[in-house]
Every structure is written in C-alpha cells, then in structure tokens.
Structure 1
Amino acid sequence: MKAVVCHQNELTLEDVSHLTPSQGQTLLEVVRCGICGSDLHMQHSCDHMHELTAKVGLKGVAKSTDRFVMGHEFCGRVLDYGPKTRKKFKIDTLVCAMPLLKVDQWCYQATGLSPQASGGYAEQILVQSQLMFAVPNGLHPDLAAMTEPMAVALHAVRRSRIKKSEPAIVIGCGPVGLGVILMLKAIGVKKIIASDFSPNRRRLAQLCGADVVIDPKQSSPFESWKEYGLLGDASEAINYGIGIFEKIQSMHIPWWHAWRVADKLGALPKRPVIFECVGMPGILQQIINGAPLFSKIIGVGVCMQSDSIEPALALNKEIEIQFVIGYTPLEFRDALHMIAEGQIDCSPLITGVVGLAGVKDAFQALGDPEQHAKILVDPKKIGSDISAL
C-alpha cells in the first residue's frame, strides 16, 4: 500500500507492506486524516519527543532513525477484523478511532507517533476495536476527521472548569485555539476574547465564535479587565475584599457564615480563564505579566523548548497554572457527536485537502498562517496540489 514515511526528518511517499489486524484490532481504509501541529514537531524533533515521552512512561515513540508513518486525526471505513475480534460494525462503516494501538499484552502505542502503530498518512490503518466509534448522522468525512483535535479542545475546556460567566481569553488562534473557541461557545461562555498576530487567524476566530478579536501588535488582550469586572491591581483587590468584609459584618448572622454564602453565590470577584494555545517559549511569562489577579492559565499549546517564568509575580497575582493533554474516551465520543449534531461547526478550520503525494508540500504550507489552518489528507486524491474546500 502507499504511505508517507518519515525517516531522518524527511517525508517520502513509498510502497509499504499491507497491514494485517491482530486479535482486538480492526483494519480501516483511511478516508481522511488531518495534519496536526504535533506532526510538524515530530518531523524535525522526534528524538526530543522520544526522550520527553519516555520520562512519563510512554514507550515506543519514534526516533529519527526509525521509519514510521504519522497521522492520528483520521476517519476510515471498516475493511476487516482481526481473529477472535467482535465485529463491532459492519464492513464499510465509516468510523473514527482513538489513536492508540495495543501491540502486546501490556503496551499501547500512540498511533502515528510509533513505528509499531502506523498512522493515517496511508491507504490503510490499524485501530483498536474497542476504541472505534461509528460516525453518526451521515457526517461528511472531512468533518469526522476533526473529531480528534476537537476532543483535545473539549478536554482543555472541561479541565479548566470555566463558568459561563467567566471571561475566556484565548492566546493563539491556530487549530488548537480555534478548537478551544468552538468548545467555549458550545458550552455557553458569554465572553470569549481571542488574540493572534495573524489577520487570517483572527478572521477564523470570529467565524468560530470569538466575541472580541485582538491584534497584540495594537493592544493587549488583558487591557479591558475592568470592563469585565476583574481585578488587576492589588490595592484595589484589598479594598474590594475589606469592603465586602465590612458589609458582611453588618448582617445579623455570624460573618463567617455570610462569607461562605457570598462565596457560593459568586459575590467575590470573577477570574478570567486564559488558554495558552501558542506553545512557544516566553508566552507563558507574557501572560503572567499581563493577566489580571486570580487568573487561571490553561496550557494547551505544546512548547517543545525549555522556558522560564517569574514565580513570584504569579504568586503575587495568585495565578493558577494548569497544563492539559489528550482526552478521555467519553470526550472523544462527545466531540464526534457535537460535530455531527451541529453543536459546533469546525468547517472554517479546514482550508485544504491534499493527496498522499502532496503531504510534504502541505507540511511546508502550514508554516504560513495566512494561507492555511488545517489541511486534510485524502489518500485517494491524485497529484500533489492542495485543493481548497
């Protein structure tokens, strides 16, 4: 079969051996596969990724000397099942699957990141049968292939525990940030502020539901904190807190009971939830510098380099920092159904489709934010040109 092989940081279209499903596995014909930002990292930084993931116990991530096929944002049609495997769906059913493949009794490999779990830049792919989900409502494969990145965004939003009344600030409007905006809008967050240097990405952020878009060359996404009922000054915060304390003490109940009630009712100041979706050194410190007091920062962007922050400043602002990755099976299923039921429209993110012969050029094209956001791979497409939708 045809597949795009990564070896020594180079991508080449090759004929590779056909895949055979083992027990518990299903063989799919790849219909669409998205090109992810982590794939761009893997092409040139897979040795670093191998070392990093090994530190958290994820074995088998490819090294530059390995030959492997990337692609973990895919949908495909069922071709065959492995021996003694329950036939979960009929042959030719369009499905999505979580990108994890069991390669022995104890070990799962990350599909598209491991030589033992070949990815979706190919005509066929193996998936774990129990991690496979039928695509509902006749959803088009272009949109079904967006399930995996939308699950990442859904996980980030859910882990943030953001309230509908809390302003959300999304820093970076690449595919990750745009997915976060879609999910924030879907759960009913009332104020979404998006910031990106790229005019094209700001336009996409508006299409995805951002209420305010900011060009950081012109203004800061944090400068309107007073308008949103936030506190950006320590003296003001002290005065605010003491003022509430004085009012509570005038009530005819013990003040500590009144304080707890006020806290539960949301009388204390709101906080913004800031989603860092850039993944570059220095961004986290820039956010800490500008963020209002009591902010919560969610690290979604994958920064592959070492970085530094000034903890004392974050401490004095009482900033909470949380990093997120991946998703649960429920979040994967929920993301698929949110797309299929029209709760989110991720079509603005899809800016091109390419055949296997054009994957190398697509990697280059994705470096220009004015040109593309998400390019999908269609293994049946002939030629190397990138077709606009």
Structure 2
Amino acid sequence: MKAVVCSEGVLEVADVPAPEPGAGQAVIDVRRCGICGSDLHARVHCDELAELAVATGYDGFMRSDQRVVLGHEFCGEIVDYGRGCRKRWRPGTRVVALPILRGGRQPQLTGLSEAAPGGYAEQVLVQESMTFPIPNGLSDELAALTEPMAVAWHAVRASRIGRKQTAFVIGCGPIGLAVISMLKAAGVHTVVASENSPRRRELAARCGADAVVDPAVEQPWTAGPRGSRIDGVTDILNLGFDAMEKLRRIPNLPWWYLFRMTHTLGLDPAGPVVFECVGVPGMIEQIVTAAPPRARVIVVGVCMQTDHFRPAMAINKELDLRSVFGYDPGEFRDTLHMIAEGRVDPTPLITGTVGLDGVADAFTELASPEQHAKILIDPTA
C-alpha cells in the first residue's frame, strides 16, 4: 500500500507492506487523518522525545534513523479482523479508534512508533477494544478530529473549572482552539483567548471565545470580567481580615469550623483557570508572573526544551500547576458523541485537505500560523 514514511526528518511517499491484524486487532481503510503538532515535533525532535519516553517507562517511541509512518488522528472503514476478535462491526462500518496497539502486554503508540504504523497511509491497524463506530452520519472530516478534541476535553475535565470561573486560553493553535471549543461545550461563561496571530484570533472567535486579545497590545488578564476578581496578594489578605471581622461579631461562634468546612467543600476563594497551549520556553514563567493569585494553570502545550520558572512566585500566589496528556477511553468516546450530537463543532479548525503526496508541503505550510490550523490527509485523493 501507499504511505508517507518519515526517516531522518524527510517525508516521502513509499510502498510499504499492507498491515496484518494481530490478535484482537482490526485493519481499517483510512478515510481521513489529521496532521498533529506532535507529528511536526516528532519529525525533528523524535530522538529527544524517545529519550524522554524511556525515562517515563516507554521504549518504543520512534527514532530518527527508523522508517516510521506518522498519523494518530484518523477515521476509516473496517476491512478485516485478526484472531480473537468479536467482529463487532461489519466490513465497511466507519469507525474511529484510540491510536494505541498492544501485542501481548506491550503497548505501542500508533503513528509514533515504528512498531505501530500510523494513519498517513491507505490502511492502519486498530485495537478492536479501543474502536468506536461513528454515530449520526458524522462526516469523515469531523470524525477524524475526535482524537485532538479528546485531548482538549481531557484538559478541560482535569482543570475542574466551574461554569462561572473565567478561563484564559494562552495560544490559539489547534489545541488552543480545541480547548476553547470544549470550554464552551462545558458551559463555561467567560473564555478569554490570547494569540499573536490575527488569523488564529479570528478562528478563536469562531470557536466561541468571548474575548480575544493580541498580547502585544493587551494582556489577557485585563480582558476578563472584574466582579470579585482577586488581582493581588493584598486582595487575599483583605478577604481574611473582612471574614474574621464579621465572624468575630457573633458571640461563641466556632468560626474555625467554617474555615475547615469551606476548605473541605472547595469553597475557598479561587482565581481563574489558565490553559497554557503554546509549549515554548518561557511561557510558564510568563504565566506564573502575570496570572492572578490562586489561579489554576493547566499545562497543555508540549515544550520540547528545558524551561525555567520561579517557584517562589508560584508559591506566593498559591498557584496550582497541573500537566495533562492524552485522554482515557471514556473521554474519547464522549468526545466523539459530543461532536456527532452537535454539542461541539470543530469545523473552524479544518483549514485544508491534501493527499499523501501533499503531506510534505503541508508540514511546511503548518509552520506559518497565518495559513493553517489543521490540515487533513485524504489517502484516496
């Protein structure tokens, strides 16, 4: 079959062996596959990523001297099954799947491992247990966005954001746009997006951002609603003074129980939730320095270089830093149905479609934020 092979940073269309499904696996004809920012990173930084993966317990990540078929955001049609499958769906059924395979007890990341060729190809292997039929006649284009939208949905869920809290999305590349869409799907009232690129600011507004700012002109923190916003450490200290002055007016009140209850129920004064979706050195330090006290910072962007920030700044502000990666099968399934039911519309993310022979040029074009957000591959084009 035809596939796009990456080796030593070079992308080329080549003839490769058609996949043979192993135990519990199915083979599908790829109908669409998205080009992910992770693919752009892996093309040039795969050896660094591989060393990082080894340090975290996974030794199957692609290396630059290997011949790897990228692509982990795909949808397709069932073709055939391997042994031990329940054969849940007839051939021709359109499906999406988590991009992960397992032979025995050894998992492999589809599209990011030589042992699990990805969706930049006419066919790809999926694990039957990790596969889901596409509901409601959802288009191939939108179905293929299940995977990146699931990454965003996981980030939103991990943030534990309340509907009345303000969300700040820093960086409006594909993952930032997906986070904006999922925040609005979750019912968050106010989403402020910050992005240098005029094109991506336009896409952020289309994805539902309530305010979009150019950080060269205005800081995002000033664009959110004021209300009872905590702007500085002084505000937190004054909250303590105000509370104690009121509570001490009530004779014999065990006021300390109220503090304990407030903490147990999660009713402490809270700042906004900040989603870092840029992934370049210096961004975490910028956010830690500028974000309001008691903010929760969700690190979604993948920074490939060593970075530095001042822990004392985060400590003084009582910032909560959380890092997120991937999703679980339930979040993946729920994302698919949210898209199919119209609860979230990722259409603004799609800015182009190419065939296999257009992938190399697409990688070049994706380097410019003014041209594209998400380019899909149609292997039949």
Whether TM-score is above 0.5 comes out as yes
- In the alignment, structure 1 residue 289 sits paired with structure 2 residue 289: yes
Name the counterpart of 1:12.
12
Distance 2:72 2:143 in 1: 13
Name the counterpart of 2:110.
111
- In the alignment, structure 1 residue 356 sits paired with structure 2 residue 356: yes
Letter in 2 for 1:109: Q
Letter in 2 for 1:219: E
Name the counterpart of 1:384.
none
Deviations 1:265-291 (A, max 9, x none): 887533110000000000000001110
Q: Which residues of 2 match residues 41-120 of structure 1 at below 5 A?
A: 41-102=41-102, 104-120=103-119
- In the alignment, structure 1 residue 208 sits paired with structure 2 residue 183: no
Cα 1:22–1:264 change in 2 (3 A) is closer
1:46 Cα deviation after fit: 0.7
2:298 is paired with a residue whose SS is strand
Letter in 2 for 1:151: A
Distance 1:294 1:175 in 2: 27
Root-mean-square deviation (CA), in Å?
1.4
Name the counterpart of 1:191.
190
Distance 1:245 1:349 in 2: 50
Name the counterpart of 1:385.
none
Letter in 2 for 1:361: D
Unpaired runs of 5+ residues, structure 2, are: none
Q: Which residues of 2 match residues 1-389 of structure 1 at below 5 A?
A: 1-102=1-102, 104-224=103-223, 227-251=226-250, 253-260=253-260, 268-381=268-381
Letter in 2 for 1:245: M
Distance 1:334 1:267 in 2: 29
Q: Percent same amino acid at aligned positions? A: 52
Distance 2:268 2:58 in 1: 42
Deviations 1:340-365 (A, max 9, x none): 00000000100000000000000011
1:232 Cα deviation after fit: 2.2
Question: Are the aligned partners of 1:169 and 1:272 in contact in 2 as well (CA < 8 Å)?
Answer: yes
Question: Are the aligned partners of 2:198 and 2:370 in contact in 1 as well (CA < 8 Å)?
Answer: yes
Deviates more, 1:240-249 or 1:136-145: 240-249
Deviations 1:186-216 (A, max 9, x none): 1111110000001111111111111110100
TM-score, with normalisation over the residues of structure 2? 0.97
Distance 2:6 2:187 in 1: 41
Distance 2:86 2:238 in 1: 65
Letter in 2 for 1:39: D
Deviations 1:30-52 (A, max 9, x none): 00000000000011111111101
2:164 is paired with a residue whose SS is coil
1:59 Cα deviation after fit: 2.0
Distance 2:190 2:15 in 1: 50
Question: Are the aligned partners of 2:50 and 2:61 in contact in 1 as well (CA < 8 Å)?
Answer: yes
Question: Are the aligned partners of 1:272 and 1:295 in contact in 2 as well (CA < 8 Å)?
Answer: yes
Distance 2:111 2:282 in 1: 29
Deviates more, 1:12-21 or 1:139-148: 12-21
Deviations 1:83-139 (A, max 9, x none): 23210111100000000011x311010000001100000000011110000000000
Unpaired runs of 5+ residues, structure 1, are: 382-389
1:101 is paired with a residue whose SS is strand
Letter in 1 for 2:183: L
Deviations 1:231-254 (A, max 9, x none): 222223211211112112223532
Question: Are the aligned partners of 2:192 and 2:224 in contact in 1 as well (CA < 8 Å)?
Answer: no
Cα 1:183–1:144 change in 2 (3 A) is same
Question: Are the aligned partners of 1:151 and 1:327 in contact in 2 as well (CA < 8 Å)?
Answer: yes
Distance 2:188 2:336 in 1: 20
Deviates more, 1:141-150 or 1:231-240: 231-240
Matched pairs, number: 380
Deviates more, 1:276-285 or 1:241-250: 241-250
1:261 Cα deviation after fit: 5.2
Letter in 2 for 1:215: D
